[in-house]
Structure 1
Amino acid sequence: MSEDSVRRGARTAIPILLVALLSLLAPGCRLMDGEDAGDVPPPVTETATKHAKPSGRKPGVVNIETEQSLNGTRAAGTGIVLDTSGLVLTNNHVIQGATRIKGTDTDNRRTYTAQVVGYDRAGDVAVIRLTGAFGLKAAVFASAAGVAVGDPVTAVGNAGGKGGAPTVVTGRVTALEQSVTARDDTNGTSERLSGLIETSAPIKPGDSGGPLLNTSGKVIGINTAASAGLAMDGSKPTKNHRGYAIPSDTALGVARQIQRGEPSSTVHIGPTAMLGVKVRAGGGSPGVIVAEVVPGSPAATAGVPVGAAIVSLGGQAVDSPGTLTGLVLARRPGEVVRLEWTTAQGVLMAAEIRLTEGPPQ
């Protein structure tokens, strides 16, 4: 098993990156819980033939665009149609922070607004629903259990975030059970992904969430990251290029859990609660330091100032930014919780606040 360091959201040539494409601002709207989904397709066990030709493009690909009004950015990625009524599988980092999501089915060329059904932050998997969609062509999945080094593969996606017909690139499986650490240059966070399929297919920013296909055109992985040698200026990748995909069995397992509405320590179901602060570690002091307060948010209404140290939420101690995020994600929009913070002068303050609805995390 290997381990590499990856980056997210970069705009220049870099060692390794997660392949959502970030650009500039547009206004946003609320996200709502997804409707009850149809059955997520079971994988069909199949072993690819090493000497067969790559499959080429297959149905079931969605171009995804998101607006992130709180960060002043937008993003582009890819999704995979799971059922005819518009349930779509993608990466969590494609929809993370989104205040508005649109998906264009590349088979019927129709564009839909989308709602978040649920997401797994640790596994980088998300499920969205295209509102009002019907009669879509769903992708066909196969188990990744039979995938072997040397197998030909095809990667399909919204490369460059250009929309329109998906880009199709080919390569071979170069390694299995790979681990990478994903760094997001936009907010300094990182996460570790493991069990990935490594391939030489030259995936690019915008391909995140798109299918990795075997020689029969069945989905065996979800493209999520690209490596050294990938140039962001439009030039050709070098021979050292590596792409990474989440195995289909892993992604579908999360999708089924989301479909059943079963939250866990990593899987969030439905709308996301928001406190309305950006924080940093306390540097040895209790709590986390407020670096920014979102105007009009519950934190702003309660009078939490920049520079304050949040020390507890709902009676539970806050000792890191990750702890605060976890405590908020465990709540639902509309819940009332007690927030405690200390001012820069060391005065303990408290308020009962009503959490509002925010973007997925």
Structure 2
Amino acid sequence: MEHNSNNFSNENQINEDKEKTEDLGLTKASPQSNDSNKSKSKLSGLLSGIFGGIISAVIVTLLFTNNIIPIQNEETGTAEAQATEDQNNAEFVTTMSVDNDEISASNLEEVSEAVVGVLNLRRQSIWTTSEEAGAGSGIIYKKENGKAYIVTNHHVVDGAEEVEIVLNNEERLDAKVLGSDELSDLAILQVDGSKINRVANLGASSDVKVGETVLAIGNPLGMEFANSLTKGIISGLDRSVSVDTNGDGVADWITEVIQTDAAINPGNSGGALVDTDGNVIGINSMKVARSEVEGIGFAIPIDSALPIMEQLETDGEVSRPFIGISTAPINQVPPQYQNNVAVPDDVEGGMVIADVEAGSPADEAGLQQFDVITKINGENVTSILELRKYMYSETKVGDSVTLEIYRNGDKQEIELNLSKRNSI
């Protein structure tokens, strides 16, 4: 990923973007570090006590509220009326139990078995064996020609020297990383398919609506809580979230995600967001992690993930067009260079070219330092995020695009042929 040229000291923008990223508190939901394992036994005991008390209180409240445990009325109660009421209540309880069993057992059991643990293994030194550096989740989405294929998040396997998956029966299999993509935060793994018995059903994220019930399936806090299910709703669709893909504290990509209030915790990354029929509609990826925030998690829509998954599976990488420039927003150009940037007063924004890579499409098209890009194919460009988003979603390698630029205050149109590379 290329960033602004050293010719433009863009510290103010970096600090501003960093503050925005930190204020939002976005965090990847995985991998879960092994450091948390030390407190797992204490945590399990504490959770058992807490959950026991909460469940008891909730059950008692619900039973009285719904009159499942009838409150006796001495004035009007009769044995016959009581028997009829008890029978009606029993039927109600039976119906509710059957419905819940159908959702959890019939529709979710298979997809739960298709959600696996993903272990990121690294060596501490050349003399040691590989140790678990983190754990996440993955979804078995295909079995073909004796091989099985798992989709997970890029950040789950990033930096791994070896990768293993953990099946529902706790059996471990060596996995090969076929491809991984930082911008989409997706990775594809391949394993021997002889031990794989379940493959997830992939749904369509375009069909979901705000308010629909969904469940997140994964391994929160590592493998001790493997195949945990959390329930929530679709809180929002087509959310545009700025993310920092390279860890420098500066937002450098915009991702389109599904928002849900189903609990997503460290270790859930790469797991499944499913509808009540057990169809995978998203891949859990990140959440807002701030002390005053609850229930804001995000998943990559399966519709947008599938084309990326296909490229990673077959080519090992995602083919994206690039221009070959580094840029800075026009309002962030350092004072010592502002005299080199001339645009009419009615131009409200644009990207100033800081550097042109030799031999790139930009170089071949004749773009120059201090040119101001204001539009691409008629679409306004005011930030590198907008430029990348348009390039990677609306164009492909081999396309020609028209850039509207200002050079020395004069408007020009430049035709540019896009070639292949993984960054602009």
Q: With the length of structure 1 as denominator, give the TM-score of the two structures.
A: 0.56
**1:178 matched to 2:239:** yes
Partner of 1:248: 302
1:5/1:179 CA distance change after superposition, 3 Å: farther
Query: In 2 relative to 1, CA 212–117 (structure 1 residues): closer, same or farther, beyond 3 Å?
Result: same
Structure 2 vs 1, CA of residues 22 and 216 (structure 1 numbering), >3 Å: closer, same or farther?
closer
Matched, 1:212 2:222: no
The Cα of 1:139 is off from its aligned counterpart by: 0.5
Separation in 2, partners of 1:266, 1:98: 24
Shift of 1:179: 2.0
Name the counterpart of 1:23.
Answer: 33
Superposition deviation, residue 196 in structure 1: 0.4
Name the counterpart of 2:372.
Answer: none
1:93-151 deviation per Cα after TM superposition (whole angstroms, max 9, x unaligned): 11111111110111x43201111101221111110112464443101110111111111
Q: Do residues 74 (structure 1) and 133 (structure 2) align? A: yes
Q: 2:248 and 2:223 mapped to 1: Cα distance?
A: 25
1:347 aligned partner? none
Aligned amino acid, residue 120 of structure 2: T
Indicate yes or no: 2:120 matched with 1:110.
no
Aligned-partner residue type, residue 17 of structure 1: T
Q: How does 1:1-361 map to 2 (within 5 A)?
A: 15-23=25-33, 56-57=108-109, 58-69=112-123, 74-84=133-143, 85-106=147-168, 108-131=169-192, 133-163=194-224, 165-183=226-244, 188=249, 191-228=252-289, 240-261=294-315, 263-265=317-319
Please, which runs of 5 or more residues in structure 1 have no aligned partner? 8-13, 26-51, 232-237, 268-313, 317-361
Structure showing the higher helix proportion among its residues: 2
CA distance in 1, matches of 2:188, 2:208: 24
SS in 2 for 1:257: helix
CA distance in 2 between partners of 1:190 and 1:265 (Å): 22
Structure 2 Cα separation of the partners of residues 257 and 217 of structure 1: 25
**CA drift at 1:163:** 4.2
Q: Distance in 2 between matches of 1:247 and 1:168?
A: 19
What's the CA shift for 1:157?
0.5
Classify 1:53/1:191 alpha carbon distance in 2 versus 1 (closer, same or farther; 3 Å).
farther
Other structure's SS at 1:127 match: strand
Gap change, CA 1:90 and 1:265, over 3 Å in 2: same
Structure 1 residues 239, 182: CA separation in 2 closer, same or farther (over 3 Å shift)? closer
Q: Aligned equivalents of 2:201 and 2:225: distance in 1? A: 21
Which stretch of the first structure deviates more once superposed, 195-204 or 15-24? 15-24
Tell me: CA distance 1:178–1:139, structure 2 relative to 1, closer, same or farther (3 Å).
Answer: same
Change over 3 Å in CA distance of 1:119–1:70 after alignment to 2: farther
Q: What's the RMSD between the two structures over aligned residues?
A: 3.9
Contact 1:63–1:163 (Cα < 8 Å) also in 2: no
For residue 76 of structure 1, what is the amino acid of its counterpart? A
Specify which structure has the bigger relative contact order, considering alpha-carbon pairs within 8 angstroms and separated by 6 or more residues: 1
Whose Rg is larger?
2
Query: How many residues were matched structurally?
Result: 234
Query: 1:174 Cα deviation (Å)?
Result: 0.7
Give 1:279's aligned residue. none
- Structure 1 residue 216: deviation in Å? 0.3
**In the TM superposition, what whole-angstrom CA distance separates every residue of 1:286-317 from its partner, at most 9, and x where no partner exists?**
xxxxxxxxxxxxxxxxxxxxxxxxxxxx999x
Matching residue's letter, 1:258: L
Secondary structure in structure 1 of the residue aligned to 2:310: helix
Take 2:161 and 2:250, find their aligned partners in 1: how far apart are those partners?
A: 20
| One-letter code aligned to 2:135 | A
Instruction: Tell me, in whole angstroms, the C-alpha distance in 1 between the residues paired with 2:211 and 2:288.
Output: 18
Higher strand share: 1
| 8 Å CA contact 2:312, 2:318 repeated in 1 | no
Percent identity, please. Answer: 28
Q: Could you tell me how far apart the structure 1 residues matched to 2:132 and 2:223 are?
A: 16
Which amino acid counterpart does residue 116 of structure 2 have in structure 1?
A: V
CA 1:116 to 1:262, structure 2 compared with 1: closer, same or farther past 3 Å? Answer: closer
Mapped partners of 1:175, 1:95: distance in 2: 28
Q: Give the TM-score, by structure 2 length.
A: 0.48
What are the superposed Cα offsets for residues 199-248 of structure 1, whole Å, 9 maximum, x if unpaired? Answer: 0111100000000000101100000011145x7xxxxxx77321100001
1:259 CA drift (Å): 2.6
C-alpha displacement of 1:262: 6.6
The answer on whether the counterparts of 2:256 and 2:300 sit within 8 Å (CA) in structure 1 is yes
**Secondary structure at the counterpart of residue 160 of structure 1:** coil
